[in-house]
Amino acid sequence: MQQAPICNPTTTTARWWSKDSIAIVTGANKGIGYALVKRFAQLGLTVVLTSRDPSKGVKAVDSLKVLGLDGNICFCQLDISDQASVRSFVSWFRSKFDAFDILKLKNTKMKAILGDEKRLSEDRIDMVVGVFLQDVKDGRWERQGWPDIWTDYSVSKLALNAYSRVLARRYEGLVSVNCFCPGFTQTAMTDGQGKHSADDAAEMAASLALLSPSRLTTGKFYTGSTTRGMHSKL
Ligand SMILES: NC(=O)c1ccc[n+]([C@@H]2O[C@H](COP(=O)([O-])OP(=O)(O)OC[C@H]3O[C@@H](n4cnc5c(N)ncnc54)[C@H](OP(=O)(O)O)[C@@H]3O)[C@@H](O)[C@H]2O)c1
C-alpha cells in the first residue's frame, strides 16, 4: 500500500548533517550519481565522488570545482564490479575517514523465487542469478519465464533490491538500507529521454538520504516523481 509522500527534508526539517557527514556516491562521473554529488555538496556534506574511470572522475570533480564545490568533494577510483578496486577503495577510505553516513550505490519468475521474505538470503540471490546466467549461456532464457523486455537489467535490479533487503535485515538498528527508483530520467542511459532531469532525480534521492535519523526507514523500496513526491512501495 502506498504511504503518504516524504516531504523534502532539505527544506522542511531540521538539518542533522554537517561537513563531517560523509556521503559516498558510486558511478558519479555522470548522470544521477553526478547530480547527487553536486546536490550533497551544495547542502554542505563531504562527498566522495567515485568513478570506474579515473580520468572521467577527475573531469567530473573539475566541473564541480567551477561551481565552487571543491571544498566538499574528494575523488577515488571505484569499479563496483571489480573486487580489487573495491578493496583498494575500502583501504583508501579507511585511511582518510572514520565512517560514512550515506552510500549510494544501482519477471515474474524472479518475484516468485525472491519474493519469499523468510527464505531470502545472499545464497538464494546468487543461486537465482546463476540459473539466469546458465539459461542465457544455454540459449533458453526466453522459454524459462524471465522478463522478456530489459531482461538482464531487470534481473540485475531485482537481485540488487533483494540484496538490499538482506542487508537491511542483517544490519537492522545499525544502518538503514533502502532502494530508490528515480523514475524515467534524462541521462545517457536513456539517450537523454525522460520525464525529468538528473538534477530533479538527485533532489529526490537527497530528500530520502537526508531524512532525519528518527524518520529513516530500512528495507524499503522508494519511487520518486517530481509531481507526486517520494513513496515507499513496501
Ligand atoms: N535514467 C533512468 O531513467 C533510470 C531509471 C531507473 C533507474 N535508474 C538507475 O539509476 C542509476 C544511475 O543511472 P543513470 O541514468 O544516471 O545512468 P548513466 O548516466 O548512464 O550513469 C551510469 C553511471 O554508472 C557508472 N558505472 C557503470 N558501471 C559501473 C561499475 N561497474 N562501477 C562503477 N561505476 C559504474 C557509469 O560509468 P561510465 O561513465 O564509466 O560508464 C556512469 O557513471 C543506475 O543504477 C540506473 O539503473 C536510472
Cβ density class 170-198: b for 16+ within 10 Å, e for less: eeeeeebbbbbbbbebbbeeeeeebebeb
- Cα separation, 75 vs 187, in Å, equals 22
- Specify the range with the lowest mean pLDDT, choosing from 6-10, 22-26, 92-96, 193-197: 6-10
Range of the domain at 117: 106-196+213-234
Ligand 1 centroid – CA 50 distance (Å) = 12
Task: Characterize the bridge pairing of strands 229-232 and 221-225.
Answer: antiparallel
Q: At what angle do helices 31-42 and 54-65 cross, to 10 degrees?
A: 40
**221 in a domain, yes or no?**
yes
- Specify the range with the lowest mean pLDDT, choosing from 54-63, 108-117, 155-164, 209-218: 108-117
Query: What does the pLDDT look like over 160-191, one tens digit per residue?
Result: 888 999 999 999 999 999 999 999 999 999 99
**Nearest C-alpha to atom 23 of ligand 1 is from which residue?**
27
Alpha helices in 43-193 (DSSP H): 54-65, 83-96, 108-114, 122-137, 151-170
Grid coordinates belonging to 179: 532502494
Ligand 1 centroid – CA 178 distance (Å) = 17
Top-confidence residue, 188 or 116: 188
**41 in a domain, yes or no?**
no
**97 in a domain, yes or no?**
no
**51 in a domain, yes or no?**
no
202: enclosing H helix or E strand? helix 198-209
Task: Give the residues surrounding ligand 1 with Cβ less than 6 Å away.
Answer: 26-27, 29-33, 51-53, 56, 79-81, 106, 181-182, 184-185, 187-190, 194
Residue type, 31: G
**151 in a domain, yes or no?**
yes
**2 in a domain, yes or no?**
no
Per-residue confidence (pLDDT) for residue 108, from 0 to 100: 46
How far CA 95 is from CA of 37, 89, 98, 102, in Å, comes to 21, 10, 8, 18
The domain that contains 159 carries what CATH number? 3.40.50.720
Residues in the chain: 234
Residue type, 132: F
**93 in a domain, yes or no?**
no
Confidence bin at 2 (pLDDT 50/70/90) = very low
**176 in a domain, yes or no?**
yes
Ligand 1 centroid – CA 184 distance (Å) = 13
Domain count along the chain: 1
121 Cβ neighbours under 8 A, 6+ residues apart: 166
Probe residue for ligand 1, chosen from 104, 187, 233 as the CB with the greatest number of ligand atoms within 8 Å? 187
